Chain A
Amino acid sequence: MANPLSQFEIKPIMEWQFAGMNLDFTQSSLWMGIAVITATLFMTLTVRQKAMIPGRWQNLSEMFYEFIGKMVKDNLGAEGKKYFPFVFTIFMFVLFGNLLGLIPYSFTYTSHIIVTGALALFVFFLATMVGICKHGLHFFSLFLPKGLPVFIAPLVVVIEVVSYLSRPLSLSVRLFANMVAGHTMLKVFAGFSTSMIVGMGFTTGITLGILPMLFNVALTGLEVMIAFIQAYVFAILTCIYLKDAIELH
């Protein structure tokens, strides 16, 4: 039986050493490129007609647009409009990574913590920068709850700082763990089918082996849902972090 984790292996397509660094073009980079291109094509081609009454495709892309637009407006208010492109890009990149990964023989780049971690750190540093630029050093009052007795303040501030710093980790781990768990499960169930055929002979194996396959069909449906949910969670947490930085309660 094939190792269910071998699907996450990074394989270089084009090797490239530059200044002692490994800058290989891997299948992960390839699928990131494909995701960017398909997302761009999807968003531009579907709204090309600019129909007053949208067709199916235009409706779909307008749905995404309005969904994120509403999320940004609800969380960041009218001022948050300038962050819309950022949140929307993050959402589409994660969503397409998750969805394209469900195509057989493709690669899910969101199943690597280095990818989700880079995204989460980017969001984290951006939010912190926005907060500091907007409020100056006053931004750090975020870590000091109001009305706190002075003698426990140092402890609480340390706890709040740790809690703040753990955000990018929990954000990235959530996306990555969901993707790895889902894809491993799909592979394990697919492996049941093949080992049944090998172990039970051809006829019995095929008849019984259809059961894990049917289960896999249902699982794929669940995975599509998780792909959307995780992209949504990533986008809304981006909004919440930015909101913290902008409003600074």
Chain B
Amino acid sequence: MSLTPEELKKKLAEIRSDDAKEAAAKPNSPIDSKSASMAFRATIEMVSAVVVSVFLGYLLDQWLGSKPWFMIIMLFIGFIAGFLNVYRAATGQDLKVGLNNKSKTEQELKDEQNDEQK
């Protein structure tokens, strides 16, 4: 099958418009895999911070013989650190330690653009 350049162009344009239509018609599925994996990740971030923190508190108690005070304090600190981890993961400043260099995430850049347009 051989096509002249004009026919080829026409065919290509057809395919491209079909693709565009398909992309436009695609409905948003109720469970998109991105938010599902984000939820999974948030769970792990939260739990791991609490586990590490409580374990540290336990070790401190063993060392200083202050049972159970450090464990209790570190439990709450673990919650805070867990929230911090989840917040960082959710805003895309992925697992960066230190707030010194807050890199701009895609969402923030988008927001900025919107502000400029307003």
* Chain A residues engaging chain B, CB cutoff 8 angstroms: 141-146, 155, 158-160, 162-167, 169-170, 173-174, 177, 237, 240-241, 244, 249
**Residue B5, interface by CB 8 Å:** no
A158 pairs with B77, CB closer than 8 A: yes
7 closest A-B pairs by CB = A249-B101, A145-B99, A169-B48, A170-B48, A162-B81, A166-B49, A166-B52
Q: From B52, B56, B85, B98, give the contact of A142 (CB < 8 A).
A: B98
* Known contacts A165-B56, A170-B44, A170-B85; is-contact A160 B97 (Cβ 8 Å): yes
In angstroms, how far is the closest chain B Cβ from the Cβ of A147? 9
Closest to A144 in B: B98
Chain B residues numbered 81-102 whose CB sits less than 8 Å from any CB in chain A: 81-82, 84-85, 94-101
Binding site of B, secondary structure by majority: helix, strand, loop or mixed?
Answer: helix
Alpha-carbon gap, A51 to B95, bound state (A):
41
| Known contacts A167-B95, A240-B95, A244-B96; is-contact A162 B78 (Cβ 8 Å) | yes
Set of chain A residues within 8 Å of B84, measured between Cβ atoms:
159, 163
- Cβ contacts under 8 Å, A141 to chain B: 98
Query: Which residues does chain B contribute within 8 Å of A159, judged by CB atoms?
Result: 77, 80-81, 84
In angstroms, Cα B56 to Cα A240, docked, is 25
User: Which of chain A's residues have a CB closer than 8 A to the CB of B101?
Assistant: 249
Give the residues in chain B near A165, CB-CB below 8 Å.
52, 56
Knowing A162-B53, A162-B77, A170-B85, say if A142 contacts B48 (CB, 8 Å). Answer: no
Task: For the complex, give the distance between the alpha carbons of A195 and B42 in Å.
Answer: 36
Which residue from chain B places its CB closest to the CB of A164 in the assembled complex? Answer: B97
Closest Cβ of chain A to B49, distance in Å, is 4
